[in-house]
Structure formats: C-alpha cells, structure tokens
C-alpha cells in the first residue's frame, strides 16, 4: 500500500483530498497544526484503518519528518493566507519554511511532490484567461495583500528548483476559487461563504469595492479531483497547472445568485465597502481572475464538471446545516 503525506489535512481542501486518497487505497499520514483546520473535517477519515493523524506544524522539520516516515508521495496543502488583515510576516515565513520542509521530507523519501499554489500569483496580469506560461504581475511590497501571492510564487520557484536538483517528480497547481462543504465560514473561506452566511441570517451582504471584479469559482469536488489527478499523473513533472472552472462571474452577480438560490425575494441588501476601509491601509484588488484550463485537460485529463448553480445549492444546504447545529449547541 502506497503511503502519502498530506499537509494541511484538517483544512477545507486537505480533508477532501484526504478522503479521495483513502478511497483510492492509499495509507494517509495527515498532518495539521489545527490553527485553521478542524478535526471535524476528518470525521469520516478518522475511522479508516489506513489513516493516521499527527498534530504537527510544517515549520517543525524534525516533527514533520518523524510523522511522515518513509512515504511515496507528498501533497503539500498547508499554507497561511489573507495578509490584508494581519500577519504578512507569518504568511511569508510559514509558506516558505513549510514548503521547504515538506520538500525535504519528499526528497529524503524519494517521493513525488504535489503543491497547491494560488491563482493570486497572476496578480494584475492583463492576459486573461490566465495561462500557466503567462506573466505574473504583482503589486508593490508596500501593499500587504501581495504577501500571499509573493510567498506562493517563491514556493513555486523553490519546488521546481529543489525537485529538479534532487531528481524527484513534482507538480505545482494553481488553484482557482475553491468552495463547498467544509469551507471556512469567514473571509478565509472566500466571498461566497460570507455572502451565504449573511443572507441566511438576514444580514447585509458586505462587498469590497464596487463588486464588478470577476472571479472563477470551482466546487471542491472538482478541485480535490484535480489535485489527486496531478498527484497520480505521469505527464506533469516540473509543470505548473491551473486547476479551476473557467466560468467567470462578477462578485456582485455572485451575491445576487446566492440570494436567489437561498429563496429570498427581491434584491439583496448590499453594503459596498471601499478597499481602503478593509484593513485601514492601502489595498489593491484583482479586477479579473479566470483560468486557461487547456493544460489541465491535456496533461491531467481534468476538467471541472460541477456548474456554479449546483455547487452553490449544495454549499448553501451545508451552511444551513452548520447554522442548525450551532443553534442546537447554543440552545
């Protein structure tokens, strides 16, 4: 039985990837420091005989090495993000040190390595849809929101350099807007998470900027399927591949669609929040974000299949259940 180390396994994406790898017959060594992940996300996995969990910080190489043992594959999902609110320093350090450590474990085992990067690395590139060999245009270092993109760009370079030097198989995946059950219910989980919560609780929907910025949202079943496809592929060594749905929608239209799917009448109540009010400092947003998906289709045979409406309906039902559970706990 092949052994796979999954970092960030108790998180949103990590738990879904864990479930898929167990279903495919792998022995999963799951590590997470539980700073943002939750053991409830691993409830199904925890009862599996081929699953083990270690509360480990990926920045602690000796602990990570001990937890992993000898592995055949490493899927590195652990990361820190959203520096626009706090901790750009932590974002930079955790993502760089954690990636170096996960790579070191893979190299020592002669294991293949798969890392999730982010669509944020494309930054302000005007070349839409974003292709993997296109330009990445980040803003100035004086704007903290770019710290996450910069950290993941560094990770990409580090992975390709260390993997090539060590002779291990490695793939970098740029993830576009993943959403679905188990997502974080704050901005950490994405705008759709915050919008659903606001609408279900009859609150005003907060939108940053004018709402005309566009995004591409990918249901977590598709995202996790793409990650697993990359982790098993033989055609994507030292490649960077977009994993995403190429349907583009404005944030304002996303709010309206969620409002409709929640069964609410009329127009949604919206509060437009100026960017400078987000964190009391300079902020820059990306006006369009949509992937070129041809490389994923060619190298991985992957194409997202869950349409936005279906994915949102399933996500809304899941969030309704979370609200019901919370009400029972607080009753």
Q: Which sequence positions are flagged as catalytic?
A: 148
Q: Is 116 exposed, middle or buried (0-12, 13-18, 19+ CB in 10 A)?
A: buried
**What SS3 state is found at 131?**
coil
Choose among 210, 223, 145: nearest CA to 180. 223
Residues in the chain: 331
Q: What is the DSSP string of 2-51?
A: -EEEEETTTSHHHHHHHHHHHHTTPEEEEE---SS--GGGGHHHHT-TTE
Residue carrying the six token digits 């936005």: 308
Choose among 220, 217, 159: nearest CA to 12. 220
Q: Are 323 and 269 in contact (CB under 8 A)?
A: no
**What is the longest distance spanned by two Cα atoms in the chain?**
59
* Alpha carbon of residue 148 to chain centroid: 12
Q: State how beta strands 249-250 and 214-215 pair.
A: antiparallel
C-alpha 315/C-alpha 313 separation (Å) is 5
- Tell me the backbone φ, ψ of residue 131, rounded to 5 degrees: -100, 150
Q: Which alpha helices (H) appear in the chain, and where do they start and end?
A: 12-23, 43-46, 61-68, 88-109, 146-166, 191-200, 220-232, 251-261, 276-279, 294-300, 308-330
């Amino acid at each position: 039985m092949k052994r796979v180390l999954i970092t960030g396994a108790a998180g949103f994406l990590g738990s879904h990837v864990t479930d898929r790898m167990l279903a495919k017959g792998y022995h999963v060594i799951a590590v997470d420091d539980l700073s943002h992940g939750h053991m409830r996300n691993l409830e199904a996995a925890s009862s599996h005989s081929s699953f083990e969990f270690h509360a480990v910080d990926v920045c602690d190489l000796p602990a990570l090495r001990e937890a992993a043992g000898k592995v055949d594959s490493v899927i590195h999902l652990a990361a820190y993000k959203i520096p626009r609110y706090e901790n750009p320093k932590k974002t930079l350090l955790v993502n760089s040190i954690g990636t170096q450590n996960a790579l070191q474990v893979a190299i020592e085992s002669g294991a293949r390595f798969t890392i999730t990067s982010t669509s944020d690395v494309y930054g302000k590139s005007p070349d839409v849809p974003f292709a993997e060999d296109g330009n990445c245009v980040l803003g100035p270092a004086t704007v903290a929101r770019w710290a996450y993109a910069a950290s993941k760009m560094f990770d990409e370079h580090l992975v390709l350099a260390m993997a090539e030097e060590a002779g291990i198989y490695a793939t970098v995946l740029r993830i576009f807007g993943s959403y679905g059950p188990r997502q974080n219910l704050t901005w950490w989980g994405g705008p759709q998470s915050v919008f659903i919560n606001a609408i279900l609780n009859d609150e005003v929907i907060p939108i940053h900027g004018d709402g005309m910025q566009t995004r591409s949202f990918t249901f977590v079943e598709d995202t996790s399927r793409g990650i697993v496809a990359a982790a098993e592929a033989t055609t994507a060594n030292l490649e960077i591949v977009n994993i995403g749905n190429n349907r583009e929608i404005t944030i304002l239209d996303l709010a309206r669609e969620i409002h409709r799917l929640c069964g609410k009448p009329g127009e949604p109540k919206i509060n437009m929040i100026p960017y400078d009010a987000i964190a009391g400092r300079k902020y820059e947003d990306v006006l369009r974000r949509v992937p070129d998906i041809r490389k994923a289709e060619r190298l991985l045979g992957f194409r997202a299949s869950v349409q936005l409406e279906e994915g949102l309906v399933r996500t809304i039902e899941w969030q309704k259940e979370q609200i019901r559970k919370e009400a029972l706990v607080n009753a």
